[in-house]
A = this chain, B = another copy of it.
Amino acid sequence: MAKLVVDRKILIVGLGLIGGSYAEGLRRYGFEVGAITRSEESIDFALEKGIIDHGQTEVTEEYVSQFDIVIFALYPQTFRDWIRDYQHCFKSGAVISDVTGVKGTVVEEIQTMLRSDVEFVPAHPMAGREVYGVKNSNADIFAGANFIITPTEKNSPQAVELIYSMAQLLGFKKISSITPQEHDEMIGFLSQLTHCIAVALMTCKDDATSLARYSGDSFRDLTRIARINENMWTELFLENKDQLLKQMTLFMEKFSELKEALQNADEESLKDMMRLSSERRAHFDK
Q: Residues of A with Cβ closer than 8 Å to B? A: 126-128, 145-146, 148, 174, 176, 178, 186-187, 189-191, 193-205, 208-209, 211-231, 233-234, 237-238, 241, 244-245, 247-252, 254-259, 262-263, 265, 267, 270-271, 273-286
Contacts and interface: CB of A to CB of B under 8 A. Distances in A.
Contacts of A213: 146, 174, 176
A28 B70 CA distance: 58
A120 B205 CA distance: 31
**Most chain B beta-carbon neighbours within 10 Å: one of A214, A225, A255, A284:** A214
Given A190-B215, A212-B286, A255-B252, A262 B278 contact: no
Given A204-B250, A245-B262, A254-B204, A273 B215 contact: no
**Most chain B beta-carbon neighbours within 10 Å: one of A176, A230, A251, A257:** A230
Contact of A205 (B189, B227, B275): B189
A234 B270 contact: yes
Contacts of A233: 270, 274
A185 to B, nearest CB: 10
Query: For chain A, what secondary structure do more than half of its interface residues adopt (helix, strand, loop), or is it mixed?
Result: helix
A208 B231 CA distance: 31
A281 B227 contact: yes
Contacts of A186: 211, 214
Given A196-B258, A214-B126, A231 B283 contact: no
29 contacts: A128-B216, A128-B217, A190-B211, A190-B216, A194-B201, A197-B201, A197-B255, A199-B258, A200-B254, A200-B255, A200-B273, A203-B277, A203-B280, A204-B250, A204-B251, A204-B254, A208-B279, A208-B281, A209-B283, A211-B283, A221-B221, A226-B277, A230-B278, A237-B270, A241-B265, A245-B259, A245-B262, A248-B258, A252-B259
A208 B257 CA distance: 20
B277 A212 contact: no
Contacts of A195: 218
